[in-house]
Structure 1
Amino acid sequence: MSWGEALGRLGGAQKTAKGVSLYSRFVNRPAGRFLAAGSYVTGLTPNQVTLVSAVFSFAGIAAVAVAPPTWWTGALVWLALAVGFAFDSADGQLARLRGGGSPAGEWLDHVVDCAKTTVLHTAVLVAFHRHPGHFGTGADVLLLVPLVFLTASTVTFFGGLLTEQLKRRVPAPGGPAPAPSTLRAVALLPVDHGVFCLVFLLLGGGPLFLWGYGLLGAAAVLYLPLFLAKWFRELNRPAAPPAPGPRPAPAR
């Protein structure tokens, strides 16, 4: 199969756009589709693509912690994180193109995502501690910003993942799936990982980065109870009645 044929087949193997922000829908997923097609042609497996995603992501994270916080560093960090995020989309698309993923592949993908989320905010905390004059984080209370952001992100990640797994046991309501909401897609932008990656372009700006990072952290905290309430309602809904069928014959 050629790259063009693989790309065409991937167009019909996409997840639903419901609950997906505009960035993931129109930027990250299309980028991942191109990468998945290229990975298929070159013979990469979904697990190998997941590891490529990890290499890019953790290279950017390491730069946040150890490199000087300049504008050039910020641009390289953003590029590494954005490419890693695109490959994170590509591994699932490649798995569907190859006929479906495996439990081990899904496990690896989620473990890498969890580690990426945890270590990225930890790297920001290290940067704030190492360069207080640059970021304006001389007050110890400002070091709590990455910790609060990390807590909200971790609970959101775990809650969403657990909800996805448990919903497989809950009968889905009948009828066609609702069309994705553009308003919801816009509202989800502040908590999209791709938008979060963009804030590192402000790394050289010091206080500008602190403000941008802090605002996204505040959004994560504000959205968390909304997500938790929504997921709880979805899992707590009454089970759908069994489908009607022929009655069993009376015992003789």
Structure 2
Amino acid sequence: MADTETHRETESGARPHGADGAGRTPGPAPRTFRAALAELSAAQKTPKGVSYYTRYVNRRLGRVLAAAACRAGLTPHQVTVLSALCTYGGIAAVALVRPSWALAPAVWAALVLGFALDSADGQLARLRRASSVSGEWLDHVVDCGKMTLLHAAVLISFYRFFDLPGEGWLLVPLAFQLAAVVTFCGGLLTEKLKPRPAAGAAGQQPVRPSRVRAVALLPVDYGVTCAVFLLLGNETAFRTGYAALCAVHVLFCLAFLAKWYRELSVPPAPAP
């Protein structure tokens, strides 16, 4: 989505990868890891509308992983599958293993690596000059499953392992899940339905990314959500941090929905 990086590397909601939709084969890849890394560094997406974590941490990790995947001969689809295995493995651990200080870094590392690989598949596609709607579809399916299962796993962990002060705490993962999924779907639909400006239209000058916005988006960045699992060793600390992030996500969800509705309510400009 254009306004937040809570779930995925791209802000447009479209990161096609794989075989070219027109049937063309992927272009030649750089011969060395260093050459691949240099080419990726020169072809990064705009920092507009993303938090500092996504810009300076996740994209850079994804860049290194994409260059390594290129040298290993992996396809973007295969990198997407690796991302899903890492992420879903961490999610399964949350649901099945009793929280502890040993589990916390393992879950965090699995989620962070999955997130970085989620960035790497799109960067690898750009490096190989390949794209496909099937790649975009696969990426969105994995992302949607990730958001749904992550908070479901927290709900299961709360029920199985936590000494909750009240049953109302079981509603927190459900609220977090609702905010995450609605924001994800709302952003995708807005991007698909919003009229595109004509190529070369007047007033479409590059806009310098806002530092305030990049900081304000940090609480709803998926990387920060991953970080809260570092608190799994202490029930109170984890519940407090998770509930705080949930509240922020709900507020941002409402703000984004209002913004997107206003944008889509503006009638399109008449054709010249």
CA offset digits 1:114-171 (Å, max 9, x no partner): 00000000000000000132xxx2411110000001000110011111122223x432
* CA distance in structure 2 between the partners assigned to 1:184 and 1:178 by the alignment: 13
| 1:54 counterpart letter in structure 2 | A
Aligned counterparts of 2:271 and 2:188: Cα–Cα separation in 1: 27
Instruction: Tell me how large the CA RMSD over aligned residues is.
Output: 1.4
What SS does the aligned partner of 2:233 have?
Answer: helix
Separation in 2, partners of 1:70, 1:27: 26
| Secondary structure in structure 2 of the residue aligned to 1:204 | coil
The runs of 5 or more residues in structure 2 that have no matched partner are 1-30
2:237 corresponds, among 180, 183, 208, to 208
- Superposed, 1:225-240 pairs within 5 Å as 225-240=254-269
2:231 is matched by which residue type in structure 1?
Answer: L
- Once the two structures are superposed, the pairs formed by residues 17-96 of structure 1 within 5 Å of their partners are 17-96=47-126
More displaced, 44-53 or 169-178? Answer: 169-178
TM-score (norm 1): 0.91
Runs of 4+ in structure 1 over 4 Å off: 240-243
Identity %: 56
CA displacement at 1:239 relative to structure 2: 2.9
- Quote the residue 1:191 is aligned against: 220
Structure with bigger gyration radius? 1
Report the more deviating stretch, 22-31 or 156-165. 156-165
In 1, Cα distance between the equivalents of 2:228 and 2:109?
11
Q: TM-score, normalised by structure 2?
A: 0.84
Q: Return the offset for 1:108.
A: 0.3
Deviation digits for residues 207-228 of structure 1 (CA, Å, limit 9, x no counterpart): 1000000000000011111111
Quick check: 1:141 aligned with 2:168? Answer: yes
Q: How many residues align?
A: 239
**Matching residue within 179, 185, 191 for 2:208:** 179
1:153 corresponds to = 180
Residue 59 of structure 2 aligns with an amino acid whose one-letter code is: R
Is 144-153 or 226-235 further displaced after alignment? 226-235
Unaligned runs of at least 5 residues, structure 1:
244-252
Distance in 2 (alpha carbons) for counterparts of 1:36 and 1:82: 15
- Give SS of 2:102's match: helix
Q: Is the 8 A contact 1:170 1:239 kept in 2?
A: no
* Aligned equivalent of 2:37: 7
Aligned letter for 1:146? P
Deviation at 1:100, TM superposition (A): 3.5
The structure, 1 or 2, with the larger RCO (C-alpha pairs under 8 Å, 6+ apart) is 2
Counterpart in the other structure of 2:190: 163
Render the CA deviation track for 1:31-72: whole Å, top value 9, x for unaligned: 000000111111111110000000000110011001110011
User: Residue 78 of structure 1 contacts residue 198 of structure 1 at CA under 8 Å; is this kept in 2?
Assistant: yes
Q: Report the Cα distance in structure 2 between the residues aligned to 1:55 and 1:175, rounded to whole angstroms.
A: 40
User: How much does 1:82 deviate?
Assistant: 0.3
Counterparts of 2:130 and 2:100, CA distance in 1: 42
Does the CA contact (< 8 Å) of 2:52 and 2:215 recur in 1?
Answer: yes
The Cα shift of 1:234 comes to 2.9
SS at match of 2:232: helix
Alignment match, 1:132 = 162
1:166, 1:235 within 8 Å by CA — same for their partners in 2? yes
Comparing 155-164 and 211-220, the one that deviates more: 155-164
Matched residues in 1 for 2:37 and 2:58: separation?
Answer: 15
Q: Using the alignment, how far apart are the partners of 1:91 and 1:26 within structure 2?
A: 17
Structure with more of its chain in helix, by fraction: 1
Query: SS where residue 268 of structure 2 aligns?
Result: coil
- Structure 2 CA distance for partners of 1:9 and 1:237, relative to 1, 3 Å: farther
| Structure 2 counterpart of 1:248 | none
Determine if contact 2:162/2:235 at 8 Å carries over to the other structure.
no
